[in-house]
Amino acid sequence: MVKLAVIYYSQTGNVYEMAKTAAREGGDAGAEVRLRRVAELAPPEAIASNEAWADHFEASGDVEEATLDDLDWADAVMWGTPTRYGLPTSQLKQFIDTTGPLWQQGRLADKVMSSFTSTQTSHGGQESTILALNNTFYHWGAIIVSPGYTDPLQFDLEIGNPYGASHIGGKGPVGEKNRVAIAIQTKRVVDIAGRVSGN
């Protein structure tokens, strides 16, 4: 059985919804799944100043915090992050920056990695955020799995992004087409991870 970790950061809940969908789809595809959030770095007053942020922070408090053990355990990892100026959030990057011990031991090599994101606007840096995460995966010697155009539904302009599933927050909450995109990507990740790991 493939072991899939879905590790994410979400400020107001869009990436959280995408991560929950990935976790559910991974389980439906036969994987053992861990859904994990990375630690919040923002001070309480910053969170409290934004009602949506504060509400989401409270509502998602029962999701376990990601640890290096989750990475070591996984055959595949799906990473979710909002975009900040075309880059992953500092919260997700801070977690990634703690992975040195695993990297030094070669324990991240040959694991399947894939990413998804959410931006406020159509051209808010979705692809550059995913590409920035890929830079880390190259250093690890991981195997990057994108959705590509491997499913005909990827040609739908509201679904398809060959880099990774992407949501536009300015258009509203995560919808059915976003969930379809995550489902396509997750099933592909589980399939490739099964072939690579032999599980």
Q: Which domains does the chain have, with CATH numbers?
A: 3-197 (3.40.50.360)
Structure tokens at 39: 């630690």
Backbone angles phi, psi at 149, to 5 degrees: -115, 50
pLDDT at 182: 97
Segment (H or E) for 71: helix 68-73
pLDDT at 84: 95
Q: What pLDDT, in 10s, does the model give residues 81-90?
A: 999 999 999 9
pLDDT at 177: 92
pLDDT at 3: 99
Q: How confident is the model over 15-37, as a mean pLDDT?
A: 98
pLDDT at 159: 78
Q: CB–CB of 74/45 below 8 Å?
A: no
Q: Is 126 exposed, middle or buried (0-12, 13-18, 19+ CB in 10 A)?
A: buried
To the nearest whole number, what is the mean pLDDT of the chain?
A: 95
Closest CA to 39 of 65, 59, 78: 65
pLDDT at 137: 99
How many angstroms separate the first and last alpha carbons of the chain? 5
Q: Which residue has the higher pLDDT, 68 or 58?
A: 68
The whole-angstrom separation of Cα 57 and Cα 182 is 23
Would you give the DSSP letter of residue 39?
P
Q: How confident is the model over 163-169, as a mean pLDDT?
A: 94
Segment (H or E) for 92: helix 90-96
The whole-angstrom separation of Cα 51 and Cα 48 is 7
pLDDT at 63: 97
Query: Pairing mode, if any, of strands 32-37 and 3-8?
Result: parallel
The whole-angstrom separation of Cα 110 and Cα 126 is 25
Q: How confident is the model over 57-72, as a mean pLDDT?
A: 95
Is 158's pLDDT higher than 90? no
Structure tokens at 122: 């159509």
Q: CB–CB of 59/13 below 8 Å?
A: yes
Going by pLDDT thresholds of 50, 70 and 90, the confidence category of residue 199 is confident
pLDDT at 123: 87
